[in-house]
Structure 1
Amino acid sequence: MGSSHSIEDEKRLIPSETWGLEGGFWNVRASFKVKSILEIGTHMSIIRLQNGKFLVIDTVPLDPRLKEEFDQLTNNGKDIEAVIATHPFHTLAFPAFREAYPDAPFYGCPRHLRTQPELKWEGEISQHLCRWKEDVEMRIPAGCEYVAPVPEASNHFVSVWVLAKKQKCVHVDDTLNYFADPNLLMKVAGVHKEELMFHPSMKGPGLYPTPEAPEQFKQWVLKVIQEWEFEAVCTAHRDILPRGGRQKLAKALNAAEPLFADLKKRNEKGGVAQKEDGGSAQYNVEGCECG
């Protein structure tokens, strides 16, 4: 049986840490600190399906207030359709979430199934990308490693992209970053205000070291821009882009053209991936995990 909550009830239930859209989409922003100092943030999205149940995309630590709100929304978890892990290295909040909701079906990336078998995964998400196609589209980027990204400390580029079709919102983890108001250090590093950009590991190990990989990824993103209708983009670390997502993604793709050309030339010469990754490894919170 699906949830009986009205949209007005759901508006009342969402916590202050949550950003929402009409029609049943919520993105929960949670604190996540590197070395207990540097706040990088993390996120979880909740999508209300046509059957009244909810898809949970990624997980965050559940403080008492958030859990209470979530339980009210999902009928104490009974209305969870599935919990989906979209990023190989976003793992840390899933054990507690499994303990809180032992009956919810969990779907993960291959690395989740390898490293956290005790969570009793229902399956690997790439085998279920079309399962909720009436409400949600999911795609995995081309030109990069999804099954076993290496080096694990820094190759955090790939993640499953999720489109909430009715709400016109994309949930994506590390492949994209968005900075609404970067601090001085970020500005010195070349980050611009309200700029959507690709994860810095694209310069290094993010894409396959083949001449074809940059073009494969570029064409994949171009197809997303052409085929997906969306305005908002929710990125894991940093901020939410509330509108103009397709246009800003197209701008980011255009800005990356020189890098794609350089990567192709490097790979044609048989070059290995640069060690440069934008310092992404230093943002890991525990071991190789960044969320």
Structure 2
Amino acid sequence: MSEKIIDLGNGFWNIRGDLRIGGVLNVGTQASLVQLGSGEFAMLDSYPLSGEIRDQVMQMTDQGRAVTAVLNLHPYHTLHCQAVARDFPQARLYGTERHRRQHPDLDWQPTLIDTPEAAATFASDFVLTVPRGIAHTTANERVHAGSVLAWHPASATLHVDDTINVLPMPGPLKRIMGEDKLFMHPTMSKALTGDPDCIEQLGAWVDELAHTCANLRHLCAAHSGIRSFAPGEFGPALKKAFDRTLPGLRKALQS
């Protein structure tokens, strides 16, 4: 995967970045630059900008001065918070409780990004939504199913880290099996809260997300890329992805 910035239109740019496990396997990561209705900019997630991407972002944002907020959406995506805080020192820095624990030296906003207060703060530009029925963080730090999802109605784009993924289909398979497939994060069953109705809560949240994003055009997934949809296609694809997880979720709840 090579680093690149992709203009999805209507003030939304997705940055595809590199993330190497053990310095070798590149699983990729993302951030997004979004122009707000005010004309200012926000970053969704943190990524160290360099080279041509950095030059382009700085040119668009008055050398970074127009970036007024950084929204760190996934509690386990913490590697690059310091780099982005240095790039945009004037931006309000939002994150989860885990971000604050990992980087106590940074000047975090008191409002956590996974709260209704944060959702209200950014409601004029985004719908910030947190899955119900699963824990945002667990004692097992390999369980990455929980995150804050950011829906940007102006560009009909959903920015999501880990909770929803895209399975890329190679060319020959795509001709047989169709477009890249959606799937829920493999650790979803391990993130269940254990409440008797947690699966129903999660299913209701999936239905709400499908309704909210009914006209979705672009899904930006952290480690698996971007998939484009025709209006009305995303909701059924999301519900199919959730339905495929149900046997595993039910088994996990019973064990």
TM-score range, shorter chain: 0.7 to 0.9
Pick which of 209-218 and 51-60 moved more.
209-218
Asked if residue 76 in structure 1 is aligned to residue 63 in structure 2, the reply is yes
In the other structure, the counterpart of 2:156 is: 168
Equivalent position to 1:226, from 206, 211, 217: 211
| SS across alignment from 1:129 | helix
**Which residue identity lines up with residue 122 of structure 2 in the other structure?**
W
Query: What does 1:100-249 correspond to in 2, within 5 Å?
Result: 100-123=87-110, 124-125=112-113, 126=115, 127-146=117-136, 148-152=137-141, 154-181=142-169, 194-203=180-189, 205-229=190-214, 230-243=216-229, 244-249=233-238
Summarize deviations over 1:62-93 as a string: whole Å, max 9, x none.
Answer: 11322211111111111112100000110111
In the other structure, the counterpart of 2:174 is: none
Unpaired segments ≥5 residues, structure 1: 1-14, 184-190, 272-291
**Which residue identity lines up with residue 182 of structure 2 in the other structure?**
L
TM-superposed CA distance for 1:233, in Å, is 0.9
Contact 2:14 2:33 in 1 (8 A): yes
Within 2, Cα distance between the matches of 1:166 and 1:219? 25
TM-superposed CA distance for 1:207, in Å, is 1.4
**Which residue identity lines up with residue 79 of structure 1 in the other structure?**
A
TM-superposed CA distance for 1:16, in Å, is 7.6
TM-superposed CA distance for 1:160, in Å, is 0.1
**Which residue identity lines up with residue 213 of structure 1 in the other structure?**
C
| SS across alignment from 1:83 | strand
Contact 1:55 1:83 in 2 (8 A): yes
Query: What does 1:15-54 correspond to in 2, within 5 Å?
Result: 17-54=4-41
Q: 1:182 to 1:175 in 2, by over 3 A?
A: farther
Q: Give the structure-2-normalised TM-score.
A: 0.88
Contact 2:133 2:201 in 1 (8 A): yes
How many residues are paired up? 242
Q: Give the structure-1-normalised TM-score.
A: 0.78
What is the identity percentage for the equivalent residue pairs of Structure 1 and Structure 2? Answer: 29
Contact 1:88 1:112 in 2 (8 A): yes
**Which residue identity lines up with residue 110 of structure 1 in the other structure?**
E
TM-superposed CA distance for 1:173, in Å, is 0.2
TM-superposed CA distance for 1:35, in Å, is 1.1
**Which residue identity lines up with residue 247 of structure 2 in the other structure?**
P
TM-superposed CA distance for 1:158, in Å, is 0.3
Within 2, Cα distance between the matches of 1:164 and 1:247? 20
Contact 1:215 1:260 in 2 (8 A): no
Q: 1:194 to 1:22 in 2, by over 3 A?
A: same
Summarize deviations over 1:207-266 as a string: whole Å, max 9, x none.
Answer: 1233321111111111111233323211101121111333321221222232333334x1
Within 1, Cα distance between the matches of 2:235 and 2:14? 19
Within 1, Cα distance between the matches of 2:4 and 2:202? 33
Unpaired segments ≥5 residues, structure 2: 172-176
| SS across alignment from 1:71 | helix
Within 2, Cα distance between the matches of 1:192 and 1:262? 30
| SS across alignment from 1:59 | coil
Contact 1:231 1:246 in 2 (8 A): no
